[in-house]
């Protein structure tokens, strides 16, 4: 069923688009079969060559009554089929057939443009040698052929490639009304350009961009593909209805090509941006989840630490009571109860120690992590935080830093905790008016650490500095000056850093050093070991 369906589609598209042809061969203002052929070639590669060649030959016989000899037609169509098959085979190795990114669409259009130029040279040379037209017209015919093919590819190939991944259409009154409104707007702009109010210069052609752009912005890549096809179909119908002369078709071809490529690229940019925003939301959700888990683990470790002393005292009292009971020859039942009390207390002590060791010393598989990538991701994730607190966040990364051994999500969480603390420290309140804070700026920096085999990463700000109570108990859990804070932020950061084999320090921003570069404020800095693969190349 596939082969008859493809041949029927190619014959139909060839028949409806065979207008204003050059010397009665397959050179028209808009050649949608080219889009069908390129789409099939990207999907099948060189396997599509026989089917494409058969479709082209059948169209020459059925639609054009074979304007040249059969041998010439077979040779010319063979060049086209082989060229499309080779181009599609190369493109399918370079792009995602579903055109999931702007890069895929740019490569599709660029590769197709180059391939069609080569195909056109051979196709037109064969017909020129057959005496269909003079060699003097070769550049003009080549331009007409190239433009018509590229328009067909830009309009129809994305539709063919994306058809498999298009979501199922769902009927809704609002969606139907919106589609009708967009269709009416396209029809209205065509009427303005080609109707009674239009002029022979068609200077209102740019109005056709408005509805197509609206659809592309509203629906992304999928909407852009449909809007482009509808607009191009409307253009061909309007050109036919108004009787635009063939001499002006080259001018219209370039306008149609500009419209098709602009809409497609705009739709791809919109879809790419939405996909990035979705990924960012997912990453922020992952980080929030990781933060909750880390806070829970840190709280468990803190509670285990706080419970360790009273539990040790309980065990001491129980052991003393057991010893006294034995010395004073108390009842065997009391001695048995005290033995069980000591046993259960020792068991609780082992459980708490195991929990604390698991939370603080859990080993993980560390993968190579580029420092520049880590900090770039942190800058992106800190964007909403910067807007909310009206602070400027920048990055300073030393060049040629080796990859570190770390968990990206955990290290991002550590950096973001430090950035959040810095931003909140610079937020004006009743005790620190905004004019007293001056310029609110946070810098995430990375540079080689003083200790060989480590990279230093940190955050510095231009805030008021550390409060005295916080500085005395800097990394102790549950110590905070925030009305709603839990006092776990720096403790969590220290846990993450130490679990990676590094150390966390803090100092005044005016303490100098290459890593500070600012007066006032605070600098938090931690070290992370270089990954083993990069460490092997270091001098001993």
**Backbone dihedral angles phi then psi of residue 157, each to the nearest 5 degrees:** -60, -45
Look at 228-232, 249-253, 386-390 and tell me which has the smallest mean pLDDT.
249-253
Q: Which residue would you say has higher pLDDT here, 311 or 138?
A: 138
- Give residue 40's pLDDT band: very low, low, confident or very high (50, 70, 90): very high
Dist. CA 18–CA 321, nearest whole Å? 105
Token look-up 């060989």 returns 452
Q: Which residue would you say has higher pLDDT here, 42 or 303?
A: 42
Dist. CA 385–CA 370, nearest whole Å? 24
Q: What is the DSSP letter of 520?
A: S
407: three-class secondary structure by DSSP: coil
Cβ contacts of 148 within 8 Å, gap of 6 or more: 27, 28, 29, 30, 31, 34, 253
Q: How far is CA 338 from the centre of its chain?
A: 64
Q: Which residue would you say has higher pLDDT here, 514 or 156?
A: 156
Dist. CA 490–CA 525, nearest whole Å? 12
- Give residue 347's pLDDT band: very low, low, confident or very high (50, 70, 90): low
Asked if 420 and 391 count as a contact pair (C-beta separation under 8 A), the reply is no
Q: Which residue would you say has higher pLDDT here, 343 or 200?
A: 343
The pLDDT of residue 113 is 93
Q: What is the DSSP letter of 509?
A: G
- Give residue 447's pLDDT band: very low, low, confident or very high (50, 70, 90): very high
Look at 94-108, 125-139, 170-184, 267-281 and tell me which has the smallest mean pLDDT.
170-184
**Backbone dihedral angles phi then psi of residue 530, each to the nearest 5 degrees:** -70, 145
Q: What number of other Cβ atoms are within 10 A of residue 82's Cβ?
A: 16
Q: How far is CA 481 from the centre of its chain?
A: 38
Q: Which residue would you say has higher pLDDT here, 181 or 192?
A: 181
Distances (CA, A) of 474 to 319, 504, 512: 37, 11, 20
Find the DSSP H helices in 328-446.
332-361, 371-381, 383-389, 408-425, 434-437
- Give residue 540's pLDDT band: very low, low, confident or very high (50, 70, 90): very low
Dist. CA 408–CA 378, nearest whole Å? 10
The pLDDT of residue 394 is 92
Asked if 524 and 458 count as a contact pair (C-beta separation under 8 A), the reply is yes
Dist. CA 278–CA 275, nearest whole Å? 5
The pLDDT of residue 473 is 53
- Give residue 527's pLDDT band: very low, low, confident or very high (50, 70, 90): very high
459: which strand partners?
444, 524
Look at 198-207, 250-259, 366-375, 508-517 and tell me which has the smallest mean pLDDT.
508-517
The structure tokens listed for 247 are: 């001499």
Dist. CA 163–CA 166, nearest whole Å? 5
Q: Is the pLDDT of residue 215 over 60?
A: yes
Q: Is the pLDDT of residue 126 over 70?
A: yes
Q: Is the pLDDT of residue 514 over 60?
A: no
Determine the average pLDDT of the residues in 5-14. 90
368: which strand partners?
405
The 3-state DSSP composition of the chain as helix, strand, coil percent (nearest 5) reads: 70, 10, 25
Q: Is the pLDDT of residue 264 over 90?
A: no
Determine the average pLDDT of the residues in 156-175. 74
Q: What is the DSSP letter of 185?
A: H
The pLDDT of residue 416 is 87
Q: Which of 348, 358, 216, 213 is nearest to 274 (CA)?
A: 216
Dist. CA 488–CA 480, nearest whole Å? 8
The structure tokens listed for 37 are: 């052929």
Dist. CA 322–CA 336, nearest whole Å? 9
Dist. CA 221–CA 162, nearest whole Å? 10
Q: Is the pLDDT of residue 89 over 80?
A: yes
């Amino acid at each position: 069923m596939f082969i008859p369906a493809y041949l029927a589609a190619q014959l139909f598209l060839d028949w409806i688009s065979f207008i204003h042809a050059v010397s009665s061969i397959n050179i028209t203002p808009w050649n949608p079969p080219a889009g069908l052929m390129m789409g099939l070639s990207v999907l099948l590669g060189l396997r599509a060559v026989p089917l494409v060649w058969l479709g082209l030959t059948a169209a020459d016989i059925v639609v054009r009554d074979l304007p040249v000899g059969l041998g010439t037609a077979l040779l010319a169509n063979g060049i086209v089929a082989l060229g499309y098959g080779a181009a599609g085979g190369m493109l399918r190795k370079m792009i995602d057939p579903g055109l999931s990114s702007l890069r895929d669409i740019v490569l599709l259009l660029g590769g197709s443009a180059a391939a069609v130029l080569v195909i056109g040279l051979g196709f037109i040379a064969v017909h020129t040698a057959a005496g269909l037209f003079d060699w003097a017209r070769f550049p003009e015919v080549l331009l007409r052929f190239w433009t018509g093919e590229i328009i067909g590819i830009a309009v129809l190939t994305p539709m063919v490639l994306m058809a498999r991944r298009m979501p199922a259409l769902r009927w809704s009154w609002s969606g139907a009304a919106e589609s009708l409104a967009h269709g009416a707007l396209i029809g209205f702009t065509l009427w303005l350009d080609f109707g009674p109010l239009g002029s022979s210069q068609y200077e209102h052609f740019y109005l056709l961009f408005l509805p197509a752009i609206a659809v592309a912005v509203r629906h992304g890549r999928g909407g852009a593909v449909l809007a482009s096809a509808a607009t191009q179909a409307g253009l061909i119908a309007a050109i036919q209805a108004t009787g635009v002369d063939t001499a002006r078709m080259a001018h219209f071809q370039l306008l149609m090509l500009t419209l098709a490529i602009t809409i497609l690229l705009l739709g791809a940019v919109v879809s790419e941006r939405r996909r990035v925003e979705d990924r960012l939301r997912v990453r922020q959700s992952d980080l929030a989840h990781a933060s909750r888990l880390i806070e829970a683990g840190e709280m468990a470790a803190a509670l285990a630490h706080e419970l360790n002393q009273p539990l040790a005292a309980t065990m001491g009292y129980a052991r003393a009571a057991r010893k006294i009971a034995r010395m004073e020859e108390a009842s065997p039942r009391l001695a048995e109860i005290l033995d069980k009390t000591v046993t259960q207390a020792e068991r609780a002590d082992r459980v708490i120690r195991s929990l604390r060791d698991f939370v603080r010393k859990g080993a993980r598989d560390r993968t190579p992590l580029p420092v520049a990538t880590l900090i770039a991701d942190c800058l992106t994730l800190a964007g909403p935080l910067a807007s909310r607190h009206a602070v400027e966040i920048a990055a300073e990364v030393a060049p040629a830093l080796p990859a570190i051994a770390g968990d990206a999500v955990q290290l991002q969480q550590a950096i973001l905790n430090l950035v959040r603390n810095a931003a909140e420290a610079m937020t004006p309140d009743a005790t620190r008016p905004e004019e007293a804070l001056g310029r609110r700026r946070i810098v995430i920096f990375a540079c080689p650490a003083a200790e060989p085999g480590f990279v230093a990463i940190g955050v510095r700000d231009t805030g008021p500095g550390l409060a005295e109570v916080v500085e005395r108990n800097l990394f102790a859990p549950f110590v905070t000056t925030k009305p709603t804070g839990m006092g776990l932020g720096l403790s969590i950061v220290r846990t993450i850093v130490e679990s990676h084999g590094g150390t966390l320090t803090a100092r005044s921003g005016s303490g100098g050093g290459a890593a500070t570069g600012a007066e006032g404020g605070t600098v938090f800095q931690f070290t992370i070991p270089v990954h083993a693969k990069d460490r092997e190349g270091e001098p001993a």
